[in-house]
Structure 1
Amino acid sequence: MKTSRVLLVEDDPLISKTLSLSLPFAGFSVTLRETFTSGLEAARQQSFDVILLDLNLPDGNGYELCRRIRSTNTKLPILILTAKTDEESAVESLECGADDYIRKPCGVRELSARMLRLISKSDRSILSFGSLRIDSSKFMAWSGEHELNLGKRELLILAKLIERNGDVVTREEILAATDQEAMIYDRTIDSHLSHLRKKLKNIDASETIDSVYGVGYRLRL
C-alpha cells in the first residue's frame, strides 16, 4: 500500500500524539507541526499529499493559515479539524480554502477515509516538492509565488525530479522523459540541467539539483 504524506498542524498534545501513532497503521506518514509559523514553513518547503489543520493554534488562526497555504498551492488537499459545531464555522472552513472539515473528537477510520477521498480526488497533473510546483497540463512551473520560465525539456526534467521526491533519477530515466537519444546526452541534457539550476538560483529557490556521481540527479531541500 502506498504511504500518503500528511502534514498535521495541531498543538493539542493528546490529539497530536494519538494521530501520530495511529495514522501510520492506516498508511499515512505523519509530519507534526504545532504552530502557525512552523506549519506554514513545512507546507512551503516540503511535499505532502494532504494537510490536516487545527483551527486554534498558539501563534495564529487556522483559517488564515489555510488561506496562506492555499495562495501558493491550489491543489493540495486541506482538511480542517475543529471542535466547533456551529454552521458559521463550517462555512468559514470551506470559504478559507479547505476541501473538507471534520469535528473533534473524531474516529481514526473516518478521518483516514476522508483524507484518502481527498487525495484520490486531487488533480494528479499538479506535482510539488517543497516550494516547487508544476502543472503538467499547462506546462507551467512555480517556485513559491515565482513563475519559472522553463523550456519544454527543462520542465520535463524538473517534473521527473519532483516525481521522485528527493530520490535519484538516473540519466537513462531523464533521457526517456525528455525523448532524447543517448548519443546527444552530453550536449543537451547537461545544458538543460545547467539552465534549470541557474533559474532556480536566480530566484533564490531553497531547492537545488544535486549530481550523484555515476548515477544521476536528485532534488534537495
Structure 2
Amino acid sequence: MNTQRLLVIEDEPTLARLLSYNLTQEGYEVTVEDHGTTGYEIARKSHFDLILLDLMLPGMNGFEILNKLRSEGIRTPIIILTAKNAEEEVVQGLKAGADDYITKPFGVSELMARVSAVLRRASGIEDKPEPANSEAEPAIQLGELVIYPERYEVLLSGVPITLRPKEFEVLLYLARKPGIVMTRDDLMNAVWGFDYIGGQRTVDVHVSSLRKKLELDPESVHIDSIRGVGYKLVVNKKPNSQRV
C-alpha cells in the first residue's frame, strides 16, 4: 500500500511542527509550506491525497488558494484550519469546496479522526458499495429535473447544472424520496457517513448552495426547509418520481 501524501500549508511554526510530527507518526508522508503563494504552487503541481490549509497566510490566503484550486479542477480533499468561533470562515470555506474543517486549538485525536475520515471518504471504498447487479442505475426524472446517478450529471429544463460531488449526493438523496422530509441527520449519515464529525452546519451550507443552482427553474423544483427538522425536495409538475 502506497504511503498517503499530505500537504500542510501553515505559517505558524509551532503548529506546523506539531502537525508534521503527529501526521508523520501516523505513517503519512508530510510536506510543510509556510507561505500561501508557494503552497498553492506546490498543491497544483504535485499530487497529494489531502491538504491541510490554514486560512490566514502570507502571500495568498487560504480562501484564495481554495478558490483557485477548485476553479482549476483540482479535487484534492482539503481540510481548512480556522479560528475558534469563526463560523463565517467555516461557511465560506465549505461553500468554496473545502471537504471539512477543524477549529484551533484542537487535539491530536480530533485531527487524526478528521484526516482519516476525509481520506476514507475520498477513496470511496466504504461510502460507495458495489451495486447488487451490474446494470447502471436509471435516470431519475422529476418534472423538469433529470438526474443521472451513475454519471453525476443533472439537467434542469434541459440545461446542465454543475454541482460539486457532495451537492449532487444531497440532491440525489432528496430526489429518491420527493416530498418526504429528510432530517439533517439523515442527510449527514447518507452523504458524509456515520463517522463524519463535522457539524450539521455542513448540511445547511450544501443545501443553500444547491438551492441557488436550482433557481434556474424554481417553479419546477425547489428545496423546502422544515424548521427544526430538515429538508424536502418539492416537485410541482410531476410529484411522483419517474424512471427513464
Which TM-score tier does this pair reach, normalised by the shorter chain? 0.5 to 0.7
1:27 is displaced (CA, Å) by 2.0
Structure having the larger proportion of residues in helix: 1
Aligned-partner Cα distance in 1 for 2:45–2:87: 33
Counterpart code for 2:73: N
The answer on whether the counterparts of 1:80 and 1:93 sit within 8 Å (CA) in structure 2 is yes
Q: What is the CA RMSD across the aligned residues, in angstroms?
A: 2.2
Alignment of 1:101 onto 2:98? no
Q: Look up the match of 1:45.
A: 45
For residues 121 and 73 of structure 2, the distance between their equivalents in structure 1, rounded to whole angstroms, comes to: 15
Is residue 57 of structure 2 the alignment partner of residue 57 of structure 1?
A: yes
Task: Give the match for residue 81 of structure 1.
Answer: 81
- Supply the distance in 1 between the matched residues of 2:58 and 2:76 (Cα, whole angstroms): 24
3-state SS, counterpart of residue 57 of structure 1:
coil
1:175-211 deviation line (CA, Å, top 9, x unaligned): xxxxxxxxxxxxxxxxxxxxxxxxxxxxxxxxxxxxx
Secondary structure at the residue paired with 2:120? helix
What is the DSSP-based 3-state SS (H/G/I as helix, E as strand, rest coil) of the residue aligned with 2:85? coil
Helix, strand or coil for the counterpart of 1:76?
Answer: coil
Q: Tell me, in whole angstroms, the C-alpha distance in 1 between the residues paired with 2:46 and 2:101.
A: 23
Structure 2 unmatched ranges of 5 or more? 126-149, 152-244
Cα pair 1:2 1:27 within 8 Å, conserved: no
Q: CA deviation at 1:2?
A: 5.0
Deviation of 1:37 (Å)? 1.0
1:21-36 map, 5 Å = 21-36=21-36
Instruction: State the Cα distance separating 1:32 from its structure 2 match.
Output: 0.6
Partners of 1:68 and 1:112 in 2: CA distance: 26
Q: CA deviation at 1:119?
A: 1.3
Q: Which stretch has the larger CA shift, 112-121 or 50-59?
A: 112-121
1:39-58 per-residue CA deviation (whole Å, 9 max, x = no partner) reads 11111111100000000101
CA distance in 2, matches of 1:13, 1:28: 19
Contact 2:84–2:105 under 8 Å retained in 1: no
Residue equivalent to 2:113:
113
The residue number in structure 1 matching 2:163 is none
So what's the TM-score if we normalise by structure 1? Answer: 0.53
Cα distance, 1:13 vs. partner? 0.3
> Structure 1: any 5+ residue segments left out of the alignment?
126-136, 139-221
**Other structure's SS at 1:90 match:** helix
- Residue correspondences, number: 127
One-letter code of the match for 1:49?
Answer: D
Q: Identity across aligned pairs (percent)?
A: 45
SS in 1 for 2:101: strand
Instruction: Supply the distance in 2 between the matched residues of 1:73 and 1:31 (Cα, whole angstroms).
Output: 22
